[in-house]
Homo-oligomer: A and B are copies of this chain.
Amino acid sequence: MSKIYQDLSKLLPSEFVSISQGDLEVHRIDKWHAAADPEVVVFAQSTEQVAAVLRYANEHEVPVYTRGAGVGYVGGCVPVNGGIALSVAQMNDILEVNTGDGVAVVQPGVITGHLQEAARTKGWYYPPDPASLKECSIGGNIATNAGGPRCLKYGVTKQYVLGLEVVTATGEIMRVGGRCHKNKTGFDLTTLMCGSEGMLGVVTEATVRIIPHPETRAMLGASFVDFTGAAAAVQAILDAGILPSALEITDAFTLAAARDYLGEDSLPPGDAYLMVEIDGRLSSVKNELEGLTKLLNELGVLRINEASDEAACEEIWQLRRDFSYSLKHTGLTKLNEDIVVPRSKLVELVNFARQLQKDTGIPVACFGHAGDGNIHTNLMVEDYSDPVIKKRADAAVDKLFTWVLEHDGAITGEHGVGLAKKPWIKQALGPVSFAMHKQIKQAMDPKGILNPGKFLD
């Protein structure tokens, strides 16, 4: 029996420390393909337990891999160097939803969707909406600075985190920020923790901002002859002074897969599809919907599906989710790269994707958050465990990322770096920023125990 297990079983109630095969297996992988066994799994129940684990780990230089719901897409929490998988999934209480202050206080294991529901019940709104919101947790959202379709209008996770309780690498309990909506007290360590991927500390409590819930929403699904037309519509909508709550685009490959999966009749015509959601006061939304319809007609849209009630909106969002399922239904493995380009380069990106498909023989499906240029670019490969196919796929991904960086883009918009984007991080950051990252990491985690083996190692 491992010494770490024995030691931790003395530090914590032993039922929260596990080396069962089942627990090790669950904690060796996220939604990406890389996997590695931790030596021991800890199910933390409190901030004090997290602090005890970190003090121990720091003293004995044991790697600590913090994990929320484990639905990351880049292998960010995979315990590549063994050590402790520190699960905060059971710290999942919503401690407070206070509309007077416009805040909610949550533990890191709270499922994002649950927080949204708790705010919604009181007529208030927590906007960040990653696709996995029914299963992902706030701790993971903070670690990756998660986004989602509505972040176009409402901003990503970091724009809602007001304060954090963080256990530092040396096991001290640090409070940063607070419950005020504005705060310029010192450096912005609260935001520094957002997107730090478990490498700078362990979040044990978060105070997030909530806002009044918009009265209603409505959607348009607009079919276009081609992607260029849909991308032009994205810009025309924004230029008309309309900031939709979501603006999602889908390319021909994805639509073809969806037709194959759902049947030709369930899908709109055309080789590109745009989903526009607007929200606000009832009368405003009605009026804005009319303006949008007029604008889209002027732009030569093929067909518009209008969704003016909740059920109809959900149908359009279901179609959006079905795009993912349709791609899975192809039987191919989806390498989902959440790259971002400056918005004016949407068409260039899709043209590049078409060329990449031609050059490599690997189908490429593009869909996602057109409004902020964050297009999920999915390389559809046959058997990624086959070394020959893997090599070809990796070379294609490399071409994609190289192109993205050459075009002022970002290699990740909302999933994080983790293991998946590690090979490109130095190039993406540049040498000065990379060195600065290492200096900050060294300052905050002197022995390098937090999530080692990831993008700075």
A binding-site residues for B, Cβ under 8 Å: 98-103, 123, 144-145, 147, 151-152, 155-156, 158-159, 168, 172-176, 178-189, 191-192, 194-196, 199-200, 211-215, 235, 238-243, 280-281, 283-284, 287-288, 291, 340-344, 369, 371-374, 408-417, 425, 428-430, 432-434, 436-437, 439-440, 442-444, 455
- The distance from the CB of A48 to the nearest CB of chain B, in whole angstroms, is 14
- The distance from the CB of A287 to the nearest CB of chain B, in whole angstroms, is 4
Collect the chain B residues with CB atoms within 8 Å of residue A411's CB: 185
Collect the chain B residues with CB atoms within 8 Å of residue A428's CB: 185-186
CB nearest to A194 among chain B residues? B188
Query: What are 25 A-B pairs with beta-carbon distances under 8 A?
Result: A100-B344, A159-B159, A168-B432, A174-B433, A175-B430, A176-B433, A178-B408, A180-B373, A180-B408, A181-B374, A182-B340, A182-B373, A182-B410, A183-B413, A184-B416, A185-B412, A186-B434, A186-B437, A187-B195, A187-B199, A188-B192, A212-B238, A212-B239, A215-B241, A281-B287
- Whether B185 pairs with A417 at a CB distance below 8 angstroms is yes
- In Å, the complex CA distance between A280 and B293 comes to 18
- The distance from the CB of A395 to the nearest CB of chain B, in whole angstroms, is 21
- Whether A344 pairs with B425 at a CB distance below 8 angstroms is no
Collect the chain B residues with CB atoms within 8 Å of residue A200's CB: 187
Collect the chain B residues with CB atoms within 8 Å of residue A415's CB: 184
Collect the chain B residues with CB atoms within 8 Å of residue A439's CB: 443-444
Collect the chain B residues with CB atoms within 8 Å of residue A434's CB: 186
- Whether B182 pairs with A187 at a CB distance below 8 angstroms is no
Collect the chain B residues with CB atoms within 8 Å of residue A191's CB: 158, 188, 191-192
Collect the chain B residues with CB atoms within 8 Å of residue A371's CB: 181
Collect the chain B residues with CB atoms within 8 Å of residue A123's CB: 239, 241
Given A189-B436, A432-B174, decide whether A343 and B182 contact each other with a Cβ distance below 8 A: no
Collect the chain B residues with CB atoms within 8 Å of residue A430's CB: 174-175
Candidate in A196, A213, A280, A291 with the most chain B CB atoms within 10 angstroms? A280
Contact of A235 among B100, B211, B408, B432 (CB under 8 A): B100
- In Å, the complex CA distance between A184 and B144 comes to 7
Collect the chain B residues with CB atoms within 8 Å of residue A186's CB: 417, 425, 428-429, 433-434, 437, 455
> How many copies of this chain sit in the oligomeric assembly?
2
Collect the chain B residues with CB atoms within 8 Å of residue A239's CB: 99, 123, 212
- In Å, the complex CA distance between A17 and B438 comes to 35
CB nearest to A192 among chain B residues? B192
- The distance from the CB of A44 to the nearest CB of chain B, in whole angstroms, is 19
Contacts A182-B373, A185-B429 supplied; 14 other A-B pairs, CB < 8 Å: A98-B344, A103-B342, A147-B182, A174-B433, A175-B433, A180-B409, A181-B374, A185-B410, A186-B429, A186-B437, A187-B199, A189-B440, A280-B280, A281-B291
- In Å, the complex CA distance between A178 and B144 comes to 18
Contact of A181 among B182, B241, B372 (CB under 8 A): B372
- Whether B159 pairs with A155 at a CB distance below 8 angstroms is yes
CB nearest to A212 among chain B residues? B241
Collect the chain B residues with CB atoms within 8 Å of residue A176's CB: 433
- In Å, the complex CA distance between A434 and B112 comes to 31
- In Å, the complex CA distance between A37 and B119 comes to 53
- Whether B184 pairs with A417 at a CB distance below 8 angstroms is yes
Candidate in A151, A283, A436 with the most chain B CB atoms within 10 angstroms? A436
Collect the chain B residues with CB atoms within 8 Å of residue A99's CB: 238-239
Contact of A343 among B100, B284, B437 (CB under 8 A): B100
- The distance from the CB of A69 to the nearest CB of chain B, in whole angstroms, is 18
Collect the chain B residues with CB atoms within 8 Å of residue A147's CB: 182
